[in-house]
Amino acid sequence: MQKTQLPEYLHTLLKHNLYGNNEDLFNKAYRNRFIGFRSEAEFKKDFKGEIFYDGGFILPAQDSKATLHAPVYFTVSDDDPRNYNSLYKELSKFRFAKMLFVKYGNKDIRTWKTQDLLNIGNPLPIPEFEVFEYTNKGMVSTRSGISCLTGLFADKANPYKSPFDIEDRIKKECFDMLSTYHTKELVKIYTERLVFDGYLGYSKYRGIPSDIDLITLKNEKYYLLEVKEKDLSKGRNPGFGMDVRRMNDLETLQISTGLRFVYIVKHVNNQTERKKVGWYQISLASFIKHTVGNKHINGGAGMASVSDQHSTLVCKLHHFKTIKPPDS
């Protein structure tokens, strides 16, 4: 029962916290969210022998500010927050305005209380949250629950409401994307979006959001992962692109913290069938090095879908390294 309900709850959260200039862009934004969920879940599934840490959201508490303008950093996870002390210590070199860890324990949504969080007459299951703040003493329980995070963002008197709806075929396609994943993974995705879209969505004043998709530990070093699902770019020198603003933000974080970003790409055959071809990776430093002087192109509707064009740089395929799951 949980597995069939979770996509519906996720649908409610996303539908009411997306923006598009038109109905087509609105549906693309919705579909792109699910593609992002799938790529991260599939990467963890294929490379299950790796040590993974949950990523985090980067969100300025001031309206319309740039992503790295005094942002709040927070992770939503069922992990032990103490396991993140050394990671947060490294990330704190950027000097985030505040660093929080939002922990949920019980993963059985059937036992969660329900609340009409979006004020739309559609109750959503809400877990018990315990919020920890990272300080120079490590993770410290705030004992004030989720309000420790939500209280940092001012309420809007009249939140934005989209005039568009999600097409039935798009909704079915997106639900099908997550059908093969374990309930625990779906609970994780839902709970992250519950915090980000439910508590901190369009009902709050906030800056331009971003995130760190995943974090891995190798040889006692943390690597921050940007995980995407893409088909090859068209043209004489095909490759994979990255949003320029996103790339610049990641580079700033990399320089500030000393932590290295790695761009992971799930290569799919085309934008319609989206059959997996394989996995590729490239360091952010190498991606930047090999795109210096390249012409910016319009990358199409991005995750924000504020408009239909995003400035993108494409790195040629031969600069990427093929990576294979250990049991392939």
**Domain boundaries 210-323, corresponding CATH code:** 3.40.1350
Crossing angle (nearest 10°) for helices 183-193 and 2-15: 20
The tens digit of pLDDT for each residue in 245-285 reads 999 999 999 999 999 999 999 999 999 999 999 999 999 99
Q: What is the full DSSP assignment across 46-93? A: HTTTS-EEEEEEEEESSTT--TTSSEEEEEEESS-GGGGHHHHHHHGG
The tens digit of pLDDT for each residue in 45-84 reads 999 999 999 999 999 999 999 999 999 999 999 999 999 9
Confidence of residue 299 (pLDDT cuts 50, 70, 90): low
b/e per residue, 80-98, with b = 16+ CB within 10 A? ebeebeebbeebbebebee
Can you tell me the distance from the alpha carbon of 135 to that of 211, in angstroms, rounded to the nearest whole number? 21
Confidence of residue 308 (pLDDT cuts 50, 70, 90): very low
- Distance from the Cα of residue 315 to its chain's centroid: 22
Residue 326 pLDDT > 90, yes or no?
Answer: no
Confidence of residue 300 (pLDDT cuts 50, 70, 90): low
Q: Closest Cα to residue 19, out of 171, 152, 162?
A: 162
Region 3-18: mean pLDDT is 94
Q: State the chain's mean pLDDT as an integer.
A: 94
Structural domain boundaries in the chain: 2-199, 210-323
Percent of the chain with pLDDT over 90: 86
Which residues lie across from 114 on neighbouring strands? Answer: 125
Q: Closest Cα to residue 207, out of 71, 96, 97?
A: 71
Contact 33, 303 (CB under 8 A): yes
Q: Which H or E element spans position 174? A: helix 168-177
